[in-house]
Structure 1
Amino acid sequence: TVPPEVRDFLEHEFVQRLTTICLEDGLESPAWERQLAIVDDLLWSVEPKTSAGARKRLVELVPSLLRSIDNDWSAEKDAQARREALLSCLFDLHVRSMKAVPGVPDSVEVAEAEALPTSAAMVPATAATVLRELDVYEAQVYSLV
């Protein structure tokens, strides 16, 4: 599920930006490709990260992604408000994606996951080990919070 702030930003600012680029530069232009990459990165960044490699990639991606979202956009008041709403919620979305527990649905919080039955027949093996050692990238996220 795409968070509402992300959806709102994509449906308004991004549609306007892509339309302008399409008309001015075309669908094959580097500018068009860069914008599509931003959309891909933004959507990927809020998905659960269950591997150390994915968490590492997110840590590396976030600074440039935030700059891409914050720079060179419409100064219109509504557009600016949507962009600010997105930027303010992205930190929480990124922290949540880094805390993802393999095998546990996104809607289940870690505290709830710890209370899940531990019978092998009822819980996938990956979800049975909710408590695990933090890797380097998770430690970086927790140090920011």
Structure 2
Amino acid sequence: MLMGEFTHTIDSKGRLIIPAKFREQLGAHFIVTRGLDGCLFGYPLNEWAILEQKLKALPLTKRDARAFVRFLYSAATDCEIDKQGRINIPITLRTHAPLEKKCVIVGVSNRLEIWSAERWNKFTSETADNFDEIAEDLNIDF
């Protein structure tokens, strides 16, 4: 399970350190693609295969299904962790997120998320203000 929050800096070449805590669970290669809420999603290969089966089951006749699959796959990239523990994030993904300097890498169960620090701080601030209401709406029992 991927969990935790880590801050790292992305360099001008798009290289970002993946926290050591996540590397073993992700493997030497994993998939990074556009995520929701303006972040990137990173999936270990086994989790990507599960998602892929779900995407293949979507009806090709539905416009939203086609658009979602195109958007997700068109930016997906196989990332390899180098000897320094970094991955190289393509410009398409850096633009989507928008990653410029300070980044936050978050473990979210079966995937990681990569956020610009500015967007992450805004998201967590807004979510913290509504956390009780969100839990109530979802009927979360702690």
Does the alignment reach a TM-score above 0.5? no
* Larger RCO of the pair (alpha carbons < 8 Å, separation 6+): 2
Greater Rg over alpha carbons, structure: 1
TM-score, with structure 1 as normaliser: 0.30
Which has the larger share of helix?
1
Which has the larger share of strand?
2
TM-score, with structure 2 as normaliser: 0.30
